[in-house]
Amino acid sequence: MAEAKKVSKTSGSKRPAVTATTAAGKAAPAKKAPPAKPAATSKAKAPAAAKPVRAKATKPAVIPLEQRRNYVEVAAYYIAAARGFTPGDPLQDWIQAETEIDRLLKEGRLGVLTP
């Protein structure tokens, strides 16, 4: 059977009460509205000021020369791949790769690989 809903305003409530009527026209019990949330107090705590973040001074990682060379070799390959392996200067690729690897080691983002 189809049910129809009727909305009626109740006194003292900001939300309308919803009542359902059946096909016979009898009113079903009204659903209770959820309780209203209390208003925020004016003495709310202000958020704490953010502390400035300092960059940590890190020592450059000490890695074996063979491992550093491997890092540079792989980085130089990716530099050449980024330009599509078009003719270029392999020495410039190597120098650029060394600069990038040294920067990453200094920042502590690369380290010693352990077997």
Total tally of structural domains belonging to the chain: 1
Backbone torsion region of residue 89, taken as left when φ is above 0, otherwise alpha when ψ lies between -120 and 50, otherwise beta: beta
- 13 belongs to a structural domain: no
CA 110 to CA 107: how far, in whole Å? 8
Confidence band for 112, pLDDT divided at 50, 70 and 90? confident
Residue 90, in any domain of the structure: yes
Q: Residue 18: inside a domain, yes or no?
A: no
The pLDDT value recorded for residue 19 is 55
Is residue 77 in a domain? Answer: yes
* Residue 88: inside a domain: yes
> Which domain range does residue 86 map to?
65-107
pLDDT at 65: 93
Question: How far apart are the C-alpha atoms of 28 and 5, rounded to whole Å?
Answer: 10
Instruction: Report the chain's C-alpha Rg in angstroms.
Output: 35
Give dist(CA 17, CA 46) in Å, integer: 38
pLDDT digits over 3-50, tens only?
555 555 555 556 555 555 555 666 666 667 667 766 665 565 656 666
CA distances from 46 to 43, 49, 50 (A): 9, 9, 12
Residue 27 lies in a domain: no
Is 36 domain-assigned? no
Per-residue confidence (pLDDT) for residue 27, from 0 to 100: 62
The overall pTM is greater than 0.75:
no
* Residue 114 confidence (pLDDT): 73
